[in-house]
Amino acid sequence: MSIEIQANVSVPVDQVWEYYTNPEHIIYWNFASDDWECTRAESDLCPGGRFIYHMAAKDRSMGFDFEGAFTVIEPSKHLAYKLDDDRNVQVLFCPQNNTKTTVKITFDPDSVHDDEFQRLGWQSILNNFKKYAEARICD
């Protein structure tokens, strides 16, 4: 059974899309806690295009690559991808007005970790995204 998370971001949808999909931005928000970081982000944003994001503990005690291939690209609306472990992820960008966007993510959980642990981890990353995007809009 899939897991769904969401966040309401006080940023227009086109900018949300840019911050969510551009590797220049991804490295600043794609981690679940302050003791982790995204040290590398590469992305070929087209159907069949591959992405790889390297997440690592800041103390370098552990790290992993989060990678897969895009299956759907509808700019500022819908992003879907299949992870290398065969799990599917859907991201919907839903404008609420000219200044707000709801980001909804539905993902297949892995079979290793507890579903609630995964939901909390993905939500934490999405919350980091919200914080980053909203801080950028004030720049």
From CA 134, how far away is CA 16, in angstroms rounded? 9
- Its pTM stands at 0.94
Residue 68 scores a pLDDT above 80: yes
Rg, the chain, Cα only:
14
The predicted pLDDT at position 137 comes to 73
The predicted pLDDT at position 139 comes to 55
From CA 21, how far away is CA 17, in angstroms rounded? 6
CA 3 to chain centre: 14
Mean pLDDT across 84-95? 97
- Domains of the chain (ranges; CATH) run 3-137 (3.30.530.20)
3-state secondary structure string across the chain: CCEEEEEEECCCHHHHHHHHHCHHHHCCCCCCCCCEEEEEEEECCCCCCEEEEEEEECCCCCEEEEEEEEEEEECCCEEEEEECCCCEEEEEEEECCCCCEEEEEEECCCCCCCHHHHHHHHHHHHHHHHHHHHHHHCC
A 10 A CB-CB count for 54 gives: 17
Mean pLDDT across 16-20? 98
